[in-house]
């Protein structure tokens, strides 16, 4: 199948490489991070060939799948570029890191933009992608299109399953992001070190309860204690620096400033 990854940073390159290894015709569209990569990359101590790189949006091409892995602040610009490119595609999905309202893009694209929420950490360091997976994996909606996405991603060796209440899971991931991402950047510490230190652990818990109290008004969330237990199980031992920290260290624009 023909596939296009738009916004090929850490996650996009990872997804593209894994799909390419399975024989799909993959193209990576990106800029700074993609431009700095060589012709191969190391993932989990294994060498992978990088798919074809593009630095301009392809015009009038047909794809079976288009995956958007761009930062949130570039999402609308990317969608407009796709709309104006004359591109045709069967499925378009956005790889998300939490709650993103994509309803307004349906009219722009004349097609549903399917959310895929990632519960893992990624870091492109030199010519190596470091993946910090959690037991949750990747989640998408329980629909016919969602199941197509699951088959493709799962066959590439990435854990991806449906979620009965995807919005609630995305809200839960947003809580985790609010608790850890900014703090990791401010303290210059990995998640496991944030939890290990009493002072930062107390800050995490204060942020956690505040976020839960806000989001439970709109989403059908589990109790605070259940979600907090999952947070500790999935994230407290993860030796991973947030993407916000990675953006600040590299001088890139971050999603929170």
pLDDT in tens, 174-193: 999 999 999 999 999 999 99
Name the domain boundary from 164, 179, 198: 164
Structure tokens given for 33: 């991070």
> What is the structure's pLDDT at 189?
96
Same domain, 122 and 198: no
- How far apart, in Å, are the Cα atoms of 117 and each of 173, 195, 196? 8, 23, 27
Evaluate whether residue 79 is within a structural domain: yes
> Residue with structure tokens 């024989």?
23
Structure tokens given for 29: 């569209």
HSE of 136 in the Cβ direction (CA atoms, 13 Å)? 21
Question: Which of 117-121, 191-195, 210-214 comes out lowest in average pLDDT?
Answer: 117-121
Same domain, 47 and 128: yes
Q: Is a pLDDT exceeding 50 seen at residue 2?
A: yes
- As a whole number of angstroms, the distance between CA 177 and CA 75 comes to 18
- As a whole number of angstroms, the distance between CA 173 and CA 167 comes to 10
Same domain, 124 and 153: yes
User: Nearest-CA neighbor of 65 among 164, 148, 127?
Assistant: 148
φ, ψ for residue 6, nearest 5 deg: -105, 125
More confident residue, 30 or 190: 190
Overall average pLDDT of the 198-222 stretch:
97
> What is the structure's pLDDT at 257?
45
> What is the structure's pLDDT at 103?
80
Evaluate whether residue 256 is within a structural domain: no
Same domain, 193 and 113: no
| Residue 141 β-bridge partners | 163
Same domain, 28 and 126: yes
Residue 231 makes CB contacts below 8 A (sequence gap 6+) with 175, 176, 179, 208
| Residue 217 β-bridge partners | none
Same domain, 93 and 152: yes
- As a whole number of angstroms, the distance between CA 82 and CA 63 comes to 12
- pLDDT tens readout for residues 41-97: 999 889 999 999 999 999 999 999 999 998 888 889 999 999 999 999 999 999 987
Cβ atoms of 5 and 27 within 8 Å: the answer is yes
**Domain region containing 70:** 2-164
Cβ atoms of 44 and 131 within 8 Å: the answer is yes
φ, ψ for residue 73, nearest 5 deg: -70, -15
Structure tokens given for 155: 């066959």
Same domain, 209 and 243: yes
Cβ atoms of 175 and 169 within 8 Å: the answer is no
The mean pLDDT of the chain is 91
């Amino acid at each position: 199948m023909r596939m296009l990854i738009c916004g090929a940073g850490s996650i996009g390159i990872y997804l593209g490489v894994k799909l390419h290894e399975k024989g799909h015709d993959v193209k990576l569209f990106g800029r700074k991070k993609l431009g700095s990569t060589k012709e191969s990359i190391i993932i989990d101590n294994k060498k992978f060939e990088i798919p074809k790189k593009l630095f301009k949006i392809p015009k009038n091409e047909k794809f079976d799948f288009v995956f958007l892995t761009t930062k949130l602040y570039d999402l609308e610009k990317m969608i407009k570029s796709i709309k104006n490119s004359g591109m045709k595609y069967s499925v378009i999905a956005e790889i998300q890191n939490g709650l993103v309202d994509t309803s307004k893009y349906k009219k722009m694209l004349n097609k549903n933009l399917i959310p895929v929420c990632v519960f893992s950490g990624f870091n492109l360091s030199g010519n190596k992608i470091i993946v910090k997976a959690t037991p949750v994996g990747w989640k998408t909606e329980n629909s016919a299109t969602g199941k197509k996405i699951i088959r493709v991603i799962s066959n590439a060796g990435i854990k991806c399953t449906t979620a009965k209440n995807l919005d609630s899971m995305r809200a839960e991931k947003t809580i985790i992001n609010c608790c850890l991402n900014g703090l990791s950047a401010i303290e210059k510490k990995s998640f496991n070190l944030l939890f290990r230190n009493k002072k930062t652990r107390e800050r995490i818990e204060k942020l956690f309860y505040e976020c839960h109290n806000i989001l439970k008004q709109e989403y059908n969330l589990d109790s605070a204690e259940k979600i907090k237990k999952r947070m500790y199980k999935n994230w407290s031992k993860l030796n991973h620096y947030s993407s916000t920290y990675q953006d600040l260290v590299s001088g890139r624009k971050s999603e929170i400033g």
